[in-house]
Chains A and B, each alone.
Chain A
Amino acid sequence: MKSVLGDPKAIALLLGPALLVYTLVMLVPIFWSLGLTFFTGNVLQGFEFNGIANFEKLVNDKAVHDAFWFTVNYAIIVTIGQVVFGYGLALLYHFVLRKSSVVVRTLVFFPVVLPTVAISLLYQKLFQSAPNDGLVNELLFNVGVTPIDWLGAGGTAFIVVIIMDIWRSVGFYGVLIFSGLLDIPDDIVESARIDGARSWSLFRYIILPMSLPILFASLIFSINGTIKVFDSVFALTGGGPGSSTTPLTLYMYRTAFQFSDYGYGSTIALLLTIMSLLVTLVIFQQSRRDNTK
């Protein structure tokens, strides 16, 4: 029997096409990209070997430092925001709204499926200050605050990016964590309540510890996405003003496709890949340790 389920020809036929496409389009280019880091040039002008010059440049490039720290700050803040607010929503769905939560869940989830470009353009208008004020500044003006040129300065533009990316993804984390809360056995919560646990201690000693696995899974999923942020900053701020909201992904894009330096672009992409790898490994390590406890 095993021989039929182990038929090499059938395995090759079923697995072959997917493995071939995956290897040629994703795995080979990674190694090719590694090779490109020792060159400078582009597809039109040809390539020239330049040793480790790209790596020296990477270490000393202030733009890379800025982009690195923007990426790190963005990833940490948005990941925390997504998981914390998502958890808040999930608790609301599961313990407060109960059966009626489906309507709110469906509504709050909607921005998740919308194209980032459309949302970014909408946010440009919501936070606009010229030629006339957008909705946010109108609100501020009505409560007596001077309207702010949100997208005109790095600090405030960063805030708008953060708000937008949390707004458009929180419904997703709400549902994700909610599905984890459903796994908490009702009788445990119920018996704790009968034993006199009030809301806060019930949450602190029963619900929170039991939601850690799903919170952890959300954290992994979130950081894997936020560290590669591209669409939302590209469409919302274009990396500006200046280069104040430029993550590594966008700096790589500009280096390769606007300044036509494929070698240096690959070097920046390598840094980004190593960051993703490290985050994955650290999280993986951490999750294994937790399981052995």
Chain B
Amino acid sequence: MTTMTQTATPHSVRRHRHDSIGDKALRTVRRLPALLTIAFLILITGYPLVWMVINSLKSNSDFLNNPSWALPETWAWENYATAWEVGNLATTITNSVIVTFPSLLLIVVLGTAAGFALEVMVWKGRGGVLLTFLSGIMIPGQIIVLPLFIVFFNLGINGSLLPLIVIYTAGGLPLTVFMMATYFRAIPREIFEAATIDGASILKSFVLIGFPMVRNAVITVAIVQFFLIWNDLLFALIFAGQRRLNTIQVGLLNFSGEYGAINYGPLFAAICITVGGILVLYLFLNQRIIKGLAAGAVKG
């Protein structure tokens, strides 16, 4: 923000010197392409979402017989109830929550501890281990899924959500460890050394000093991983294919293939509910989410 303010000032100062009515009109005309671009951006981002909401409130015959951009003839709010019931949304949302939050907790705890051990502590070979973690970012899910399926099958846990929690935890570690190591790099090692002089064990200084100091980074990491896990489709399809295990993504896909294929309103309503949950989160946390996801990319 501050940088942008600085850019803006010199211009306005220079411009004000030659200000006249003609200049003002000219400037509006010159800003026209920019204004049109903004209008275009708002339209192509926002309108599909508005269109989706409009159509979630139409009856089937209304959807089939009238232009899709027209408002509903009668507002079919019952589509949302139908979507919730038939779409099994209570179950799928519960499953997604059961899978996502334990994974997030494990990722954050394990990843922060590992990042601390790799960046703050001093030992031979830590660079190599960090690189090993980092290389995990590149690994496609397809190369690890079959052996895992075999193992989980033999362990007899393929009928539960446990495989997903294990996979999401491991899959989230590479980026998290790397990001946490980068954040710890910014903290002077002397702080931890001073703590140990005062008699704290290194574990204690991690829990009482290190972890609180990277609290913001932990939230960033958790946000990045939340979206990766919540929106995952590949592993969810493979390990949560049974109806009672469906996560929200798999459930939505199945709903669109079966019931939703001919019941347009409820399908749109189900999409709206899925999008709506994320929208609420986004309304409160948008700047945090944007910064967090961008940080995840730059650090990765």
Contacts and interface: CB of A to CB of B under 8 A. Distances in A.
Interface of A: 1-2, 4-8, 10-11, 13-15, 17-19, 21-22, 24-30, 32-33, 36, 43, 89, 92, 94, 96-99, 102, 104-118, 121-122, 124-126, 131-135, 138, 167, 171-172, 175-176, 179, 182, 186, 189-190, 217-218, 221, 224, 228, 230-231, 234-235, 249, 252-253, 256-257, 262, 265-266, 268-270, 272-273, 276-277, 280
B10 A190 contact: yes
Nearest to B47: A135
28 contacts: A5-B121, A5-B202, A13-B113, A14-B117, A15-B114, A15-B117, A18-B177, A21-B166, A25-B169, A26-B139, A36-B146, A99-B5, A106-B290, A108-B45, A110-B282, A115-B274, A115-B275, A132-B64, A138-B68, A167-B45, A175-B293, A186-B3, A224-B137, A231-B231, A265-B146, A272-B142, A273-B140, A273-B142
A140 to B, nearest CB: 13
B110 A4 contact: no
B52 A25 contact: no
B64 A126 contact: no
B143 A125 contact: no
B153 A25 contact: no
B4 to A, nearest CB: 6
Contacts of B192: 5
Given A105-B290, A108-B45, A109-B289, 13 more contacts: A7-B121, A18-B111, A18-B173, A19-B129, A22-B133, A33-B143, A33-B147, A43-B149, A89-B41, A98-B8, A125-B68, A135-B51, A231-B233
B30 to A, nearest CB: 10
A62 to B, nearest CB: 20
B21 interface: no
The 3 residue pairs across chains A and B that have the minimum distance between CB atoms = A25-B170, A18-B114, A32-B147
A32 B152 CA distance: 14
Given A6-B122, A10-B203, A182-B3, A269 B10 contact: no
B139 A276 contact: yes
A117 B249 contact: yes
A16 to B, nearest CB: 9
Contacts of A125: 52, 55, 68, 264, 268
Nearest to B281: A113
A21 B110 contact: yes
A78 B144 CA distance: 26
B266 interface: no
B172 to A, nearest CB: 10
Given A115-B249, A121-B271, A228-B140, A172 B278 contact: no
Given A5-B192, A113-B278, A116-B233, A122 B137 contact: no
B116 interface: yes
A223 B32 CA distance: 35
A29 B139 CA distance: 11
A138 B114 contact: no
A117 B246 CA distance: 13
A189 B4 CA distance: 13
A218 B63 CA distance: 41
A19 B136 CA distance: 12
A32 to B, nearest CB: 4
Nearest to B271: A118
Contacts of A115: 230-231, 248-249, 252, 274-275, 278
B139 A92 contact: no
Interface in B85-136: 106, 110-111, 113-114, 116-118, 120-123, 129, 132-133, 136
Nearest to B153: A43
B238 interface: yes
Contacts of A276: 138-140
Contacts of A224: 137-138
A43 B189 CA distance: 50
Contacts of B189: 5
A106 B293 CA distance: 13
B253 interface: yes
A273 B68 contact: no
A218 to B, nearest CB: 8
Given A5-B189, A19-B114, A21-B110, A253 B252 contact: no
A7 B202 contact: yes
A176 B294 contact: yes
Nearest to B274: A118
B280 to A, nearest CB: 12
B34 interface: yes
Nearest to B63: A132
Contacts of A105: 290
B196 A231 contact: no
B34 A29 contact: no
Nearest to A8: B123
Nearest to A251: B142
A25 B252 contact: no
Contact of A22 (B118, B173, B237): B173
A50 to B, nearest CB: 16
B171 A26 contact: yes
A171 B45 contact: yes
A99 B9 CA distance: 11
Nearest to B68: A135
B156 to A, nearest CB: 12
